[in-house]
Structure 1
Amino acid sequence: MSFDGLFTHAMVRELQGELQSGRVMKISQPYPYELMLSIRANRKTQTLLLSANPELARVQITTIPFANPKVPTPFTMAMRKYLAAATLTDIQQVGADRIIYFDFATRDELGDSVSLRLVVELMGRHSNVILVDQRTHKILELIRHVHPDENRFRILLPGAEYVDPPYQDKLDPFTAQPADYTPLVEQAGSDTGALAKAIQSRFQGFGRDAAVEMATRLQHGLPQAAWDGLIDAFNHPEPVLIDAQKPQFAATPLRTVDGDAHAYPTLSALLDAFYAQRAERARVQEVGSKLIRVLRTNTERLTKKLKKLQHTLDESDRADELRIRGEVLTTYLRDVPRGANSVELPNFYDDMRPIKIALAPELGPNQNAQKYFTRYQKLRKAVSHVHEQMAEAQAELEYLQGVQAMVEIAAPQDLVDIQTELTNAGYIRLQRKAKKQRQPKVAPPERFWASDGTAILVGKNNLQNEQLTLHSAAKDDVWLHAKDIPGSHVIVKSNDPSARTLTEAASLAAYFSKARQSANVPVDYIPVKRIRKPNGSKPGFVIYTGQRTLSVTPTTELVDKLRQQPTM
């Protein structure tokens, strides 16, 4: 089910019960289009996520950790200026639309009462989070500025008057009467698709999947009971994650989607489970776009370099042919006509058989011979270095591909270490102001727990891998890594782990590697004391001998399970 107006209705009711009358304790903007408000209400502090991400627009309470940027954005500073310590007085949905009003009461610098409204518009690529002064209706700040040439109906810039989105002349499904929808059922007959379209055209808030669900229920039951039953489900939701061919979240079990339904206590918990991987990938793309661009540029550069070196190597096989042509020309200089494009001469290296030699017509016979000798010498000299250059380029390419693989499996907070690594390696240039800044500390590895309670640590990038394996791990701990594949270093904090613990740790090593989507991934394991780092090698690169190997198939379910410390 999409985050349509019906789902928005259910979410607003949940937020009203959890956050209304709460106090804003902290404001963050960890990602470009996502605002986090830590709100203290009902004796607990919870994080309200307001996302205007074009692909993942939503509003919910989240427990997924996030990392704040070192420098707050102008939007963050404005939110802190106006909403710090404000009280959330009301949460309301506009009709059955995907627009939510968060009303706050606070005081200005003079101590006067101020009423502010945070408007969240969940409209795909037009999604936005807008702070409005309720007295003047002026926009104070918004997460996405929209200039007049982009939207002539509404100017969405600080200082402009806030104008509601275009009004949709549709009925509110929560106040609808049988006379509003019964004619649609009669007109559509048994055509579920036509009835679903008619419902969307007449009523506000229906996404396509919700409209199909309602149409199906109307056609297979008493219309009023069917309508009231589904609508009431959004007043008293039973959140489920449906494990179908295309996984879906829903505020209530759906009859039109086949698959196992997993229940969740709240809509917010449901969305955390559904969006955990999708949101992390999107956030990595947003935060790591610069890193991805740097890696792609350098990978393309090295690929082109390897092709040129291979071409040089292929050309070197012709070096002797160039030398022979030069020697034949030198021997028969008197027989070479001036201004010719080519000439045939006896080849004394091949039983005096004729050999056709290309010439530069603007050069004399001796100059053409010297040109062949020059090319011969150049190729011979190049060959002596080309193998070394190819080995260096190939090693650098494999290193960058390894870093790219770490970006693909990284959480947004892990990208800081990857940026530090690429900066130290010279792939990212520091600005003059940044050169004096202290180098940030390497983030700690992620901690997991085996079924028997043994701690398992996982590095999420090369700097974390090196810190974990070479500096933090005990010599008797067990080290694991996907065999011959870029990925995380995994440490089992035990000198004699059980077979089950080893298998679980190997699953983590396979999951946090480039082989995440593969089956039967080979994973090496060995005591940490046998790991060695060659002098001058890249961060995270180690060598070892005497390892054993397990084959595992990584799954998200097992990884999520190992994140939770077992109760002993």
Structure 2
Amino acid sequence: MAFDGITISSIVNELNNTINGGRLYKISQPEADEIMLTIKTQSGQYRLVLSANASLPLAYLTDDNKPSPATAPNFCMLLRKHLNNGRIISITQPKFERVIDIEAEHLNELGDLCRKHIIAEFMGKHSNIILCDDNNTILDSIKHISAQTSSVREVLPGRPYFIPNTSDKINPLEADRKHFDETVFSKPVPVVKALLSSYTGISTCIAEELAYRAGVDGGHPANCLDEPMKDALYNVFDALMSDVRNGIYHPDMVTDNGVPAEFAAVKLSMYDNHTEYDSISRLIIDYYRQKEIATRIHQKSVDIRRIVTTHLERAYKKLDIQEKQIKDTEKKDKYRIYGELLTTYAYSIPAGSKEYEALNYYDNTTIKIPLDNTLTPIENANKYFARYNKLKRTYEAGIRLIQEITEEISYLESIINAIEISVTEADLANIKEELIETGYIKRTVKGKHKITANKPMHFVSSDGFDIYVGKNNIQNDELTFKTGNGNDWWFHAKQMPGSHVLLKTDGKEVPDRTFEEAASLAAYYSKGREQEKVEVDYVLKKEVKKPAGAKPGFVVYYTNYSMVADTDISKIKQL
């Protein structure tokens, strides 16, 4: 619940400082569950987005406009009828709930001054945008909720509006030390859970941050804290609530290797990699824009991922079968030795013998050789030689197949890795075209299509050296054999699928720190990115070769250095 009460409070504070007192110049409904209000103020024009999306309820100011449907929906028409050219007179957050109440006054058809409320509720699947009159009577809502849908509250025209109280939580802005002692410190549950169950608008993230600031273990039972711990926890809680009362916020976004992981309207000091913003709206836009891109890319990659995974599963099954067959050939050398010994000692083996005990001159041990008493010693020897030759052929063919299957598995896993690090639709198109060229996907349009690699990722080391990272096998080949010069350095995660990383030297001596950063990029953009450390090979680019007929991205090298690299790349600048 990143969109918690404190985040709503921060948004309300920002709206009061920007659009309060402004006029509702334009109202649109770009999505079925979203409205956009354009407000003109003395300082300029603002656009406020209110979304009641069940999975992503949001409120933020933006500079971007959104296209609206040619015919405005009924709710949008009603908002225009009641609020167009109205003036915003207050923006509040009732009871510190995840609710924003925008009150506006306007002239009705008779010229009388009236007041209306746009109430946006951000409560997951129960999110809604409701228009009420000044008597808290619902005029309409973007989602209609009947008694059959909810036994707690109907949201229909003519019904009274109220915020349902489904828990015993209270407003944290009204809490004092006595209440804190009676609620939080009396519960035999972890500190984080005690905070969550006591106050509205407190998310898990905020509760964990409070525990961190107080130096208290968030998993420790709240009723077992000693007095110094209780004092510390209440003091940081009270300080945070004091900041909220005074409108002091520090919007903060936490990233995990450059990917948004968490955000809050307060500084999240429990994390190392975070970025502070001067506007909660700007933070929300950045956070969810990057999240949306990642989600869209994941959705578009599903079909490609399924095809690759299917081929990968088949390859693993074939490998398992071949390895079992290879194991079955382990007796081949024993049969060869039997044949050789029988040939050597044939003159001394009595006719009709069922076994013969012979000295194995390879290791000076005595072994018993089973015999077919209907055959001569030489015929028995030839029989063992035949078994040996058959198993030898099976072994040699199996080894060749295992090598081919292993190379196919390595290639398919490199495709999976490329899908994981794809950041644009062009990256996925590149991967799909590669799979068509290598025969894993059938081309729907006849004719040969040229694979055009888009640009690789570009980083700059702390010492100013350019480092390039391929996002797929086509880029890897382009980077290694066209972009790279002989004296540039080439990096790759050891014995696992991963990106080719090229460190451009421009003839300069490269510091150790830059080597380490390039190795970290190779470690992160590999199958081992979830590990803390990954072993990375690095070599001069001129030592990297591509075998004739090899699949895209496959290279060989025989002399290299190795280092163990960190997978944290958050401090490496990306262009």
User: What's the TM-score, normalizing by structure 2?
Assistant: 0.59
- Matching residue within 417, 422, 434 for 1:405: 417
Separation in 2 of the partners of 1:94 and 1:442?
A: 51
- Matching residue within 183, 203, 208 for 1:207: 203
Instruction: Report SS of the residue matched to 1:385.
Output: helix
Matched, 1:536 2:565: no
- Greater Rg, structure 1 or structure 2? 2
- Contact 1:526 1:546 (8 Å CA) reproduced: no
Matched, 1:191 2:205: no
Superposition map of 1:494-505 within 5 A: 494-500=505-511, 501-505=514-518
Equivalent AA in structure 1 for residue 202 of structure 2:
F
Change (3 A) 1:77 1:378: farther
- Matching residue within 442, 446, 450 for 2:453: 442
Equivalent AA in structure 2 for residue 300 of structure 1:
E
Matched, 1:290 2:292: no
Deviation at 1:380, TM superposition (A): 7.1
Deviations 1:297-331 (A, max 9, x none): 222211111111122223345689999xxxxxxxx
Separation in 1 of the partners of 2:354 and 2:276?
A: 85
Q: Which residue in the other structure is 1:391 paired with? A: 403
Change (3 A) 1:460 1:260: closer
- Contact 1:241 1:250 (8 Å CA) reproduced: yes
- Contact 1:218 1:227 (8 Å CA) reproduced: no
Separation in 1 of the partners of 2:506 and 2:240?
A: 62
Change (3 A) 1:522 1:201: closer
Change (3 A) 1:58 1:189: closer
Deviation at 1:470, TM superposition (A): 2.9
- Matching residue within 242, 248, 263 for 1:236: 248
Deviation at 1:221, TM superposition (A): 5.9
- Matching residue within 265, 269, 284 for 1:251: 265
Instruction: Report SS of the residue matched to 2:182.
Output: helix
Equivalent AA in structure 2 for residue 265 of structure 1:
Y
Separation in 2 of the partners of 1:9 and 1:199?
A: 18
Q: Which residue in the other structure is 1:480 paired with? A: 491
- Matching residue within 409, 415, 431 for 1:418: 431
Q: Which residue in the other structure is 1:526 paired with? A: 540
Deviation at 1:448, TM superposition (A): 1.7
Instruction: Report SS of the residue matched to 1:252.
Output: coil
- Gap regions ≥5 residues in structure 2: 74-79, 104-117, 132-137, 151-155, 212-221, 223-229, 337-351, 359-367, 374-383
- Contact 2:521 2:569 (8 Å CA) reproduced: no
- Contact 2:254 2:262 (8 Å CA) reproduced: yes
Q: Which residue in the other structure is 2:3 paired with? A: 3
Among all aligned residue pairs of Structure 1 and Structure 2, give the percentage whose two residues are the same amino acid.
Answer: 24
Separation in 2 of the partners of 1:174 and 1:222?
A: 17
Matched, 1:311 2:324: yes
Change (3 A) 1:177 1:17: closer
Change (3 A) 1:262 1:469: closer
Aligned residue pairs, count: 472
Separation in 1 of the partners of 2:447 and 2:34?
A: 30
Q: Which residue in the other structure is 2:503 paired with? A: 492
Instruction: Report SS of the residue matched to 2:499.
Output: coil
Deviations 1:503-522 (A, max 9, x none): 43333233322343343733
Change (3 A) 1:201 1:88: farther
Instruction: Report SS of the residue matched to 2:571.
Output: helix
Separation in 1 of the partners of 2:196 and 2:475?
A: 51
Change (3 A) 1:175 1:408: closer
Q: Which residue in the other structure is 2:77 paired with? A: none
Instruction: Report SS of the residue matched to 2:536.
Output: strand
Separation in 2 of the partners of 1:375 and 1:79?
A: 78
Superposition map of 1:512-523 within 5 A: 512-516=525-529, 517-519=531-533, 521-523=535-537
Mean Cα deviation higher: 396-405 or 515-524? 515-524
Separation in 1 of the partners of 2:485 and 2:236?
A: 68
Separation in 2 of the partners of 1:93 and 1:428?
A: 56
Instruction: Report SS of the residue matched to 1:557.
Output: coil
Q: Which residue in the other structure is 2:349 paired with? A: none
Change (3 A) 1:102 1:488: farther
Change (3 A) 1:6 1:79: farther
Equivalent AA in structure 1 for residue 248 of structure 2:
H
- Contact 2:46 2:62 (8 Å CA) reproduced: no
Deviations 1:71-107 (A, max 9, x none): xxxxx99779869xx999989787444466999xxxx
- Contact 1:199 1:211 (8 Å CA) reproduced: yes
- Matching residue within 480, 488, 496 for 1:469: 480
Change (3 A) 1:119 1:477: farther
Superposition map of 1:257-406 within 5 A: 264-266=276-278, 267=280, 285-317=298-330, 347=354, 382-383=394-395, 385-406=397-418
Deviations 1:251-306 (A, max 9, x none): 3357xx86769661334676789889988876664443333333332222111111
Change (3 A) 1:306 1:200: closer
Q: Which residue in the other structure is 1:335 paired with? A: none
Equivalent AA in structure 2 for residue 542 of structure 1:
V
Instruction: Report SS of the residue matched to 1:448.
Output: strand
Matched, 1:553 2:566: yes
- Contact 1:243 1:259 (8 Å CA) reproduced: no
Separation in 2 of the partners of 1:49 and 1:436?
A: 49
Change (3 A) 1:420 1:222: closer
Q: Which residue in the other structure is 1:168 paired with? A: 165
- Contact 2:469 2:502 (8 Å CA) reproduced: yes
Deviation at 1:193, TM superposition (A): 6.5
User: What's the TM-score, normalizing by structure 1?
Assistant: 0.59
Separation in 1 of the partners of 2:203 and 2:301?
A: 32
Q: CA RMSD in A?
A: 6.3
Equivalent AA in structure 1 for residue 551 of structure 2:
K
Separation in 2 of the partners of 1:446 and 1:118?
A: 44
